Chains A and B, each alone.
Chain A
Amino acid sequence: DAGVIQSPRHEVTEMGQEVTLRCKPISGHDYLFWYRQTMMRGLELLIYFNNNVPIDDSGMPEDRFSAKMPNASFSTLKIQPSEPRDSAVYFCASSLGGDTQYFGPGTRLTVL
């Protein structure tokens, strides 16, 4: 299995621009998680899905952030408009039955 796939691996954008991060979970996994990692705040859960349905989005920082999972093999995290404080590494993870979470390689986002 290829594992969790994320794209792009690096993204540099200017403040105010829309950013879309993409994730393909491990085939057959029914849970998908989006995390944000920064030096100041550590590893934070933003939102997670079960069978493509958002279960808990309490970690989404504000309305500028949105996430979708249109099918079992694809999810997006969108930031619109982006701000410099959104600069972080964004990880996607998936699991089967909510068990062990497997992380993707991450997307390093820099907002100038």
Chain B
Amino acid sequence: GENVEQHPSTLSVQEGDSAVIKCTYSDSASNYFPWYKQELGKRPQLIIDIRSNVGEKKDQRIAVTLNKTAKHFSLHITETQPEDSAVYFCAASIGAAGNKLTFGGGTRVLVKP
């Protein structure tokens, strides 16, 4: 089955700096890659996703890049703010749509004011 590895496990950045989280996946058939943000005690919430026919996608301060050849994808957060502090999860799935997600282990991001 699919295996997703996520790095780093923790990330501390100064407010205003950029944060980058990287994930690798094992199954070349995976074609949907969402990113979820989970604040303490809350549910995971989708912040951005990318499909295999796209190499990069942006939404305001966040962007995701995908390299299918290398089987890795990354989340970039620019101009970080304290409210960006949370655990971020990447995921991958196989199929026409996003069913049966396999999640990475998560990255705890701390933005220091």
Residues of A bordering B, CB below 8 Å: 31, 33, 42-45, 48, 50, 55-56, 91, 95, 97-106
Contact = CB atoms under 8 A, between A and B. Distances in A.
- In this complex, the member of A31, A42, A43, A56 whose beta carbon has the largest number of chain B beta carbons within 10 angstroms is A43
B34 A42 contact: no
Nearest to A50: B99
Contacts of B104: 42
Contacts of A45: 100-102
Interface of B: 34, 36, 42-46, 49, 89, 95-106
Contacts of B42: 105
B43 A103 contact: yes
A103 B49 CA distance: 15
A61 to B, nearest CB: 16
Nearest to A58: B1
Contacts of B101: 33, 45, 101
A42 B105 contact: yes
A99 B44 contact: no
